[in-house]
Chains A and B, each alone.
Chain A
Amino acid sequence: MTTYDIIFYLFAAVTLLSAFFVVTNRNIVHSAFYLLFTFFGVAGIYVMLGADFVAIVQLIVYVGGILILLLFGVMLTNKITNIEIKTDSINALPASIVLGLFTGALGAAVLNTNWKVVESPAPEATTTALGNLLINEYALIFELLGIVLLIAMIGAASMARK
């Protein structure tokens, strides 16, 4: 087991454990804070896989943006000092049946697939390549996505003004 493996399993453990807590915790704010560790762990795994730009974007967008928005949403829409910020688990039986089936299918797929094992290449900086792809080759799609996001923002703003 190399240092690389140790770090990988560390991040994996952080991700899985905190994800478990996000789901099981009954306090929404707690869940949101546990989500921070999930995002962080996922970003770490991205780095381990050599996707440094994606990892950083994960951190910026999810930790710096979505998580904060989520927290603000929870804190501003509830009475913060109240203990009322709690969730309940409903439909436990159907959920567990579906979950069991899904896990079984995934497990079967993982075990039965004939995985190709390749020596992992040394991680390279992906920023320049990504930038070239986004701005040169897929410029139209990139711009369209930007416009979609802009429309979403305008829509949200116009809804908020009513």
Chain B
Amino acid sequence: MIYDWLFRLTGSETAAAIIQSLLPLFLFILPFALFAVLLERKVSAHMQDRLGPMRVGYHGILQTVADIIKLVQKEDIVAKDNDRLFFDLSPVIVFTGSYAAFAVIPFSGIFLGSNIDLGLIYIVAVTGLVVAGILMGGWASNNKYSLLGAMRAAAQIISYEIPTLLIILVVIMVSGTLNLYTLSEWQTSYFWNWLILGGPVFGIEKLLFIPLMMMSALIIFTSTLAEVNRTPFDIPEAESELVSGYHTEYSGMKFAMFFLAEYANMFAVAAIVSALFFGGFQSPFGYLGDLFNLPWLIPIEQFFWFTVKGIFFVFVQMWLRWTLPRFRVDQLMTFCWKYLIPFAFVILIIVGLITVLV
């Protein structure tokens, strides 16, 4: 584990803990956000037969760096009637909420913030902080659009938490653990052992699980997509009706924090989906490190596969964004309550029966 290594390096528990808790931010989220913003713009551009940013660096590679520099320089505008304290606190809380989720996400076999037993439920819990932060920001902005966006975001996130939790329950029933690290270890490094293909247990239940798990993966991907407010579930920030929802009033670094939180959330969600159903940090075809007897290579490979899977699901999110139009509010609720939740429930019951009977 990386904590032990840091502990030996610094000689102090506190320093090791602080460094370790900052590692995902500087090693992963910031570079990922830089990359993902560029990827988003490039993917959207090419899907619309455009080129996207081309000016800054080769094919616009440095575009997001330039954007960040611009955001840092920007004036921090606080309107007279904004609720100053909560207006300032809200981006911090939203970012804390989405960053806290990274504490339990296993980046690789050795790079894991906290190996707690409650990993999955913990992620669901800290997501609640994001909802509170969004509501706080929307209310403190003292702006109708912001408030409407915040209310919509909160309503949407809490209703889509239900199918997410139901599917997490399904996974818990099949795997018997809430710990994301154990879950990833459990789905071994061969893709036919991943949960999407029925898990590592061979037998009649594996065959029965395959269609159910595919449905579950679809449902959890959809509902987590709604939880991070991405198109087609972006009615909280629907720019054509609400300017940009709860962060309309924000500028400069506070806006950048919302932005960073959004991209961190996107990756967190992609990581959860990949950890639940696609083997987490496990390679699909075994490890080169095992093949050539180089044990130090395995964590690096695991990190690579984790990143690849995460970025693939982030790409699918972007892909969906440029494919589907936005839902109406009633369609959104219909979709959640009439389709996702019953399906998740039926899957839960069937999987429960299978695990008990087989």
Direct A–B contact in complex, judged by CB atoms less than 8 Å apart: yes
Q: What is the distance, in angstroms, from B180's C-beta to the closest C-beta of chain A? A: 13
User: Whole-angstrom distance between the alpha carbons of A33 and B139 in the complex?
Assistant: 10
Q: Which residue of B lies closest to A43 (CB)?
A: B125
Contact of B13 among A3, A30, A68, A81 (CB under 8 A): A3
> What separation, in Å, do the CA atoms of A137 and B125 have in the docked complex?
26
Output the nearest chain A residue to B117 by Cβ-Cβ distance: A125
In contact, A52 and B154 (Cβ under 8 angstroms): no
Q: Please encode chain A, from 48 to 92, with 1 for each CB lying within 8 Å of some chain B CB and 0 for all others.
A: 000011001101100111011001100100001100000000000
The answer to whether the Cβ of A12 comes within 8 Å of any Cβ in the partner chain is no
A16 at the interface (CB under 8 A from B): no
Q: Does chain B have a CB within 8 A of A45?
A: no
The proximity string for B residues 151-165 relative to A, scoring 1 for CB distances below 8 Å and 0 otherwise, is 100110010010000
- The stretch from B129-137, B274-282, B291-299, B331-339 touching chain A is B129-137
| Contacting residues, chain B, for A65 (C-beta < 8 A) | 128, 158
Output the least CB separation between B169 and chain A (Å).
12
Contact assessment for B136 and A64 in the assembled complex, using a CB-CB cutoff below 8 Å: no
Cross-chain contact B125 with A125 (CB below 8 angstroms): no
In the complex, what distance in Å separates the CA atom of A68 from the CA atom of B135?
8
CA distance A100 to B315 in the complex (A): 61
Q: B86 and A33: CB pair below 8 A?
A: yes
Find chain B residues with CB under 8 A from A63 CB.
Answer: 125, 128-129, 132
| A24 located at the interface, meaning its Cβ lies under 8 Å from any Cβ of chain B in the complex | no
Roughly how many angstroms separate A33 CA and B151 CA in the complex, as a whole number? 15
Main secondary structure of the interface of A (DSSP, over half): helix
A6-46: which have CB < 8 Å to B? Answer: 29-30, 33, 36, 40
A103 within 8 A of B: no
In the complex, the chain A residue whose C-beta lies closest to that of B155 is A72
Q: Which of B130-189 contact A (CB under 8 A)?
A: 131-132, 135-136, 139, 142, 144, 147, 151, 154-155, 158, 161, 178
Decide: B161 and A64 in contact? CB cutoff 8 A.
yes
**Cβ of A127 < 8 Å from any Cβ of B?**
yes
Q: Mark A109-123, 1 if CB is under 8 A from B, else 0.
A: 000000000000000
State the majority secondary structure of interface residues on B: helix
Does B116 sit within 8 A of A, measured CB to CB?
Answer: yes
A56-B125 in contact (CB<8A): yes
Residues in B with CB closer than 8 Å to A125 are: 116-118
Q: Interface size bucket, B side?
A: 20 to 34
Which residues of A have CB within 8 Å of B125? 56-57, 59-60, 63-64
Among candidates B127, B136, B155, residue contacting A33 with C-beta atoms closer than 8 Å: B136
How many residues of A sit at the interface, in one of the four size bands? Answer: 20 to 34
Convert B98-127 into 0s and 1s, putting 1 for each residue whose CB lies closer than 8 angstroms to a CB of A.
000000000000000000111001101111
A68, B147: Cα distance in complex, Å: 14
| Partner of A59 from B93, B126, B144, B158 at Cβ < 8 Å | B126
B127 and chain A: residue at smallest CB distance: A64
Cβ of B124 to closest chain A Cβ, rounded Å: 6
Whether A127 contacts B118 by the Cβ 8 Å rule is yes
Chain B residue with Cβ nearest A69: B158
What's the Cα separation between A30 and B136 when bound, in Å? 9
Give the distance in Å from the alpha carbon of A60 to the alpha carbon of B14 in the complex.
Answer: 28
Kindly state the separation between the CA atoms of A100 and B118 in the bound complex, as whole angstroms.
41
Please, which residues of chain A bring their CB within 8 A of the CB of B13?
Answer: 3
Q: Do B118 and A71 touch across chains, with their CB atoms under 8 A apart? A: no
Closest to A53 in B: B118
Alpha-carbon gap, A75 to B148, bound state (A): 11
Contacts of B151 in A (CB 8 A): 72, 75
Q: Is the CB of A59 within 8 A of B178?
A: no
From known contacts A52-B116, A125-B116, infer whether A64 and B139 are also in contact, taking CB-CB under 8 Å. Answer: no
- Bound state CA distance, A120 and B127, in angstroms? 31
Q: Are A64 and B118 in contact (CB under 8 A)?
A: no
Check if A60 sits within 8 Å of B124, measured CB to CB: yes
A40 vs B100: C-alpha distance when bound (angstroms):
13
Contact yes or no, A3 B86, CB < 8 A: no
A75 contacts which chain B residues (CB < 8 A)?
139, 147, 151
Q: Report which residue of B83, B116, B132, B155 has the largest number of chain A beta carbons within 10 angstroms of its beta carbon.
A: B132
Min distance, Cβ A129 to any Cβ of chain B, angstroms:
11
CB distance from B99 to the nearest CB of A (A): 15
Q: Which residues of A contact B (CB under 8 A)?
A: 3, 29-30, 33, 36, 40, 52-53, 56-57, 59-60, 63-65, 67-68, 71-72, 75, 80-81, 125, 127-128
**Told that A56-B118, A59-B129, A67-B132 touch, could you supply 5 new A-B pairs with CB distance under 8 A?**
A29-B139, A59-B125, A64-B128, A68-B128, A81-B142
Residue contacts A-B, CB under 8 angstroms, 9 given? A33-B136, A36-B129, A52-B118, A59-B125, A64-B131, A64-B158, A64-B161, A72-B151, A127-B117
Name the 6 nearest CB pairs between A and B, nearest first.
Answer: A64-B128, A59-B125, A125-B117, A63-B128, A60-B125, A56-B125
